[in-house]
Structure 1
């Protein structure tokens, strides 16, 4: 797809909800620089989604609604679950870490300054499924908002929400959470039966101007493949692009807008899956 394709105008809603693949995202961001109409549509769609998060008139599915009502803000993260007799996985992206110490970001940490160790952290869905459940409720309402002008985009948005739901509600879903070096926390919810994973963020600060948070699948040998981007917002849920396959970890780096074919900075977040 090129910036001159007439179909590119139909991607504004999917872009606002981070439902584009890396190539589509790069092409659409290039198009946005010269299309005021699409910029306005993306802005209004995001504003409506944020408003719906505060006052949604449409109820989410019962199972997700129950999870949200159980107290998304009041659930405290549980300590890491360590199997009896099993050695702790302390493999790190860079530098040693004392066993048992938390991987907290340094006070002066900036993008790429403080890689987060790969570690097997809290694996019970708990709080992270609740954060994602609230986001799914917003997606389900946002997908019907401005239906007349945005009906071209509802198919991809609805499909993305359904895929996220399938991972979060899979019987074998596991959750691994850790702090992000730039602030906030993130968790990866993965399902072997679905072959997919979702990245949920909480309190993540905006990326610096001209930069974006890019997600990667990382193999045990260290090879990285693009898995999507973290959309703007304090709380997000992103379906990772591609199959989990042989990925041994999921990482996030800060990259130039539009992303990079390979990481150019050290991870600000990385967990084993």
Structure 2
């Protein structure tokens, strides 16, 4: 695992003890990671202290039990695979939370029950567009690709929050551009806001869209894709 990709997991305390010790040794040698990890810890702390209310244990229990009934449970094929899957899940969750923080630091807090394709919101601040989207009762979280891209989709709000992590740094004359693909083909959705190796974009007007793709385009964007997809996420 590239240690430069672990700043988010470390900031949220999601690293196992052995990996945490190795990563903290890396921080002593890498000023960039140290500064990024420090900033993410401060952001996570501010968001944690900004939660405006907490659901009662009874409410949380009923929601978790309801989610369990809807989610397919797949047993791990081995104990080693189960541990690896847990670590990957923690890192993915940390990356998504921190990407959302970079996009909208005003979101007070989101507590969700996640599967690989679905998120069930429990509580979110209603004071921003992204907060309203994350609190939508029909919110779905779809992740695909390598590097991973995630679409948080609400059909009732006709909105989607696109998040990508692990992107390579582009030269000044190139940008990442997002495309919405429907029966008529791809149409431009905009250029995601970069935040280091992550990028995010809030999109409105997703009716009939079956998938979203991310490509590399000339600076300023293109009217149609000129290169192969970097990330493809199916919304079906």
By percentage of residues, which structure has more helix?
A: 2
In structure 1, runs of 5+ residues without a counterpart are: 1-48, 67-80, 84-121, 142-160
Question: Take 1:64 and 1:130, find their aligned partners in 2: how far apart are those partners?
Answer: 19
The alpha-carbon deviation at position 237 of structure 1 amounts to 2.9
Aligned CA distance change for structure 1 residues 65 and 269 (closer, same or farther; 3 Å): farther
For 1:71-220, what aligned pairs fall within 5 Å after superposition? 130-136=97-103, 138=105, 162-180=128-146, 184-220=147-183
Q: Deviations over 1:202-241 (max 9, x none)?
A: 22222234100000100134x111111122222333202x
Q: Give the match's secondary structure for 1:134.
A: helix
For 1:228-267, what aligned pairs fall within 5 Å after superposition? 228-232=190-194, 233-240=196-203, 242-267=204-229
Alpha carbon RMSD of aligned pairs, Å?
Answer: 3.8
- What TM-score, normalized to structure 1? 0.45
Question: Take 2:232 and 2:53, find their aligned partners in 1: how far apart are those partners?
Answer: 27
The alpha-carbon deviation at position 59 of structure 1 amounts to 3.6
Aligned CA distance change for structure 1 residues 140 and 63 (closer, same or farther; 3 Å): closer
Aligned CA distance change for structure 1 residues 202 and 248 (closer, same or farther; 3 Å): same
The alpha-carbon deviation at position 58 of structure 1 amounts to 4.0
Q: Give the match's secondary structure for 2:128.
A: helix
- What TM-score, normalized to structure 2? 0.51
By percentage of residues, which structure has more strand?
A: 2
Q: Give the match's secondary structure for 2:211.
A: strand
Q: Hey, what does 1:227 align to over in structure 2?
A: 189
Q: Deviations over 1:144-164 (max 9, x none)?
A: xxxxxxxxxxxxxxxxx8222
Aligned CA distance change for structure 1 residues 217 and 196 (closer, same or farther; 3 Å): same
Q: How many residues align?
A: 148
